[in-house]
C-alpha cells in the first residue's frame, strides 16, 4: 500500500476526491435551489425573512420549497457519510477497479435521486436510487470495519 494513500499521488484518491467533489457540489447546489425557490415564490420560514423579502406569513408547508429542501436534507444524510466512510475505505487498500465502480455508482445514484425527487418521478425510482447510494456506503463501511480491529 502506498504511504500517500490520501494524496493526489494516489490515482484512486483522485477518483474519490473527484466523486466527493461532485456530490458535495450537488449538495451545495441544493441549498442554493432552496433559496431561489423561497425568493421566487416568496415563501419563507422565518418572520424576519418575510418582513425583508415579502410574502404573506412564515410557513414551512409550501410544497414547491419543501420538495427541494427534502432532497437537500437527503443529500446531507447520505453524501457526508459517503465522504467520511470513503476516506477510511481508501486506507483499506481496496481493489482499484471495484473502488472506482463504487465511487461512480454513488455519484450516479445521487444525481439520479435528485432528478427523481425534483421531477418528480413515480416511486420506486427515488427509493431505488437512494438505496443504491446507501448500499455503496454500506459496502465501504463493512470493508472499513473488517479492516479495523478492536
Domain boundaries, the chain: 11-147
pLDDT over 90 percentage in the chain: 87
**Residues 111-137 pLDDT 10s:** 999 999 999 999 999 999 999 999 999
Q: Which residue has the cell 447546489?
A: 29
**Mean of pLDDT values over 10-25:** 97
**Mean of pLDDT values over 5-25:** 96
**Residues 37-88 pLDDT 10s:** 999 999 999 999 899 998 888 999 999 999 999 999 999 999 999 999 999 9
In this structure, which topology does domain 11-147 adopt according to CATH?
1.20.120
Q: Which of 75, 55, 76, 81 is nearest to 118 (CA)?
A: 75
Q: Counting Cβ atoms within 10 Å, is residue 63 exposed (0-12), middle (13-18) or buried (19+)?
A: exposed
- Tell me how far apart the alpha carbons of residues 122 and 115 are, in angstroms, rounded to a whole number: 11
- Quote the pLDDT of residue 2: 44
**Mean of pLDDT values over 27-41:** 95
pLDDT at residue 1 above 60?
Answer: no
Give 108 or 1, the one with higher predicted confidence. 108
Q: Quick one: cell of 63? A: 410544497
Amino acid at each position: 500500500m502506498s504511504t500517500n494513500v490520501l494524496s493526489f499521488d494516489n490515482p484512486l484518491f483522485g477518483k474519490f476526491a473527484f466523486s466527493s467533489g461532485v456530490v458535495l457540489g450537488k449538495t451545495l447546489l441544493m441549498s442554493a435551489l432552496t433559496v431561489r425557490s423561497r425568493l421566487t415564490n416568496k415563501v419563507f420560514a422565518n418572520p424576519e425573512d418575510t418582513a425583508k423579502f415579502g410574502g404573506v406569513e412564515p410557513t414551512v408547508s409550501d410544497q414547491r420549497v419543501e420538495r427541494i429542501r427534502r432532497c437537500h436534507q437527503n443529500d446531507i444524510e447520505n453524501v457526508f457519510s459517503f465522504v467520511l466512510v470513503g476516506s477510511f475505505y481508501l486506507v483499506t487498500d481496496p481493489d482499484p477497479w471495484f473502488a472506482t465502480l463504487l465511487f461512480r455508482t454513488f455519484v450516479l445514484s445521487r444525481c439520479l435521486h435528485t432528478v427523481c425527487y425534483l421531477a418528480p418521478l413515480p416511486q420506486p425510482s427515488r427509493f431505488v436510487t437512494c438505496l443504491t447510494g446507501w448500499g455503496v456506503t454500506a459496502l465501504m463501511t463493512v470493508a472499513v470495519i473488517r479492516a479495523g480491529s478492536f
